[in-house]
Amino acid sequence: MVCTRKTKTLVSTCVILSGMTNIICLLYVGWVTNYIASVYVRGQEPAPDKKLEEDKGDTLKIIERLDHLENVIKQHIQEELKEKLSEYVDKVNGQKPGFIKVVRHSKQEGLIRSRVSGWRAATAPVVALFDAHVEFNVGWAEPVLTRIKENRKRIISPSFDNIKYDNFEIEEYPLAAQGFDWELWCRYLNPPKAWWKLENSTAPIRSPALIGCFIVDRQYFQEIGLLDEGMEVYGGENVELGIRVWQCGGSVEVLPCSRIAHIERAHKPYTEDLTAHVRRNALRVAEVWMDEFKSHVYMAWNIPQEDSGIDIGDITARKALRKQLQCKTFRWYLVSVYPEMRMYSDIIAYGVLQNSLKTDLCLDQGPDTENIPILYICHGMTPQNVYYTSSQQIQVGILSPTVDDDDNRCLVDVNSRPRLIECSYAKAKRMKLHWQFSQGGPIQNRKSKRCLELQENSGAEFGFQLVLQRCSGQHWSITNVLRSLAS
């Protein structure tokens, strides 16, 4: 099936490219192009099947301009950012007054506020917010503008292809919706079942959230609350926008007929510790939008829900926004918009699991390729995440985000040896996956009655190995307890 273009006239659209570096000058700059397309009429022609194939006519001119602008930006972000960019902008604006606006910040404001700065400078009815490191494919704008014209409460993402960072080759990505995991990192999703049933690969794909590049009616973006300007540096704003738009009466979709290509970098250069910023931003989303499910974000990041020690800044304005817009609950969102997301309301304790015999060692999932849990020096990262459920399962490792991902792995007594097996499989096969545990007490299998214990072994890496044996009275503790663990 091919993409067809039905749009007769184009709405003037402001394309906002956010570029950033702290290599040279420690500032974020939002470049604003007032992209006014001349009337562009085309019949129902198939889209070119070659990526970034050259096109004739007005579209080509626009793409050339954007390409040129991007090249200039890329060139001058390294050297003479100020003069050369100004020269280029002056030259273009000399021919076409007001075509490009440049917004500069005096300090590093981060991706999120940079995008909003671009929005503030924009005057066109539609704004398109993109990373500076994207390439626009032919005809990317028309299908988007059609969908927004039909309903201004739609926020649209194009479909993404990848530009390989080492050789700039285009790699076609499969069509995808855009969602997130419980740490609120964005990710591509398989399109929903209803979309596949249509058997129309050009149909809009309903999407729970956004990867980060999107097109929106300029005024609707303000009505819905722009982006959370209390977020720092990078990450989470795309997820927050998706959740907010759905909960507050709008919708988000990905259009197969609108394609861009994006460079996924090997390394993001603008901060030392990206994860710390993403985590902080994620907690803002959790606290404002996620109701009782905010626990899931804390659990996925493996941090306590009270007194986490993380300063998430002031969220009163965002909470007031939610109230003012009379938005629906996060439970509604999960059930109606993101049913693939797994819910974990049965978790009653989480964190790292330590034995009092040797408290610097933690239960660890061991090598990825194996299913044998081990003891390892405590570092508290994902391989040492442990979740204890009200049905007495002990799940180890990453908290599986959606039903399309691998299931969580449960600790199982397999012939008196500790093993990690997919929980649903272990349950279906009636394996020994239930463990009695109370904080500071033993961990005992309900069926075999054997206990998970440490055994001294001079041959083991840290002098101890993990065994299942007759209970000798060893004590285990887990970092965070949500509900009292019955003994």
Give the footprint of Mn ion on this chain (CB under 5 A).
Answer: 131
In angstroms, give the least distance from the CB of 281 to Mn ion. 16
158's tokens: 């194009």
Pair 373, 356: CB distance under 8 Å: no
Output DSSP code: residue 315.
-
Q: What is the DSSP string of 264-308?
A: PPSS-TT-S-HHHHHHHHHHHHHHHH-GGGHHHHHHHHT--SSS-
In angstroms, give the least distance from the CB of 414 to Mn ion. 44
Closer of 212 and 397 to Mn ion (Cβ): 212
Closer of 28 and 464 to Mn ion (Cβ): 28
In angstroms, give the least distance from the CB of 237 to Mn ion. 13
In angstroms, give the least distance from the CB of 250 to Mn ion. 24
186-191 contacts at long range (C-beta below 8 A, 24 or more positions apart): 186/210, 186/211, 186/212, 186/238, 186/239, 187/401, 188/160, 189/340, 189/402, 189/404, 190/340, 190/404
In angstroms, give the least distance from the CB of 429 to Mn ion. 43
Pair 178, 254: CB distance under 8 Å: yes
E-assigned strand segments in 330-462: 347-355, 358-364, 374-377, 386-389, 394-396, 409-414, 417-422, 435-437, 443-445, 451-456
Closer of 131 and 453 to Mn ion (Cβ): 131
Closer of 248 and 260 to Mn ion (Cβ): 260
| Cα–Cα dist 127/119, whole Å | 7
Give me the residue whose beta carbon is nearest to Mn ion. Answer: 131
In angstroms, give the least distance from the CB of 131 to Mn ion. 4
In angstroms, give the least distance from the CB of 262 to Mn ion. 6
Closer of 240 and 413 to Mn ion (Cβ): 240
Q: Which residues lie below 8 Å from residue 464, measured CB to CB, with a gap of 6+?
A: 357, 358, 361, 375, 454, 455, 456, 457
Output DSSP code: residue 184.
-
Going by C-alpha positions, the residue among 198, 241, 234, 199 that lies closest to residue 108 is: 234
Closer of 111 and 353 to Mn ion (Cβ): 111
| Cα–Cα dist 107/104, whole Å | 9
In angstroms, give the least distance from the CB of 483 to Mn ion. 40
Closer of 179 and 373 to Mn ion (Cβ): 179
Closer of 131 and 217 to Mn ion (Cβ): 131
In angstroms, give the least distance from the CB of 133 to Mn ion. 6
Going by C-alpha positions, the residue among 238, 151, 142, 137 that lies closest to residue 187 is: 238
Closer of 131 and 232 to Mn ion (Cβ): 131
**3-class secondary structure, 21:** strand
Closer of 235 and 351 to Mn ion (Cβ): 235
Give backbone dihedrals phi and psi of 202, rounded to 5 degrees, phi first: -100, -5
**3-class secondary structure, 369:** coil
Residue type present at position 86? S
In angstroms, give the least distance from the CB of 119 to Mn ion. 18
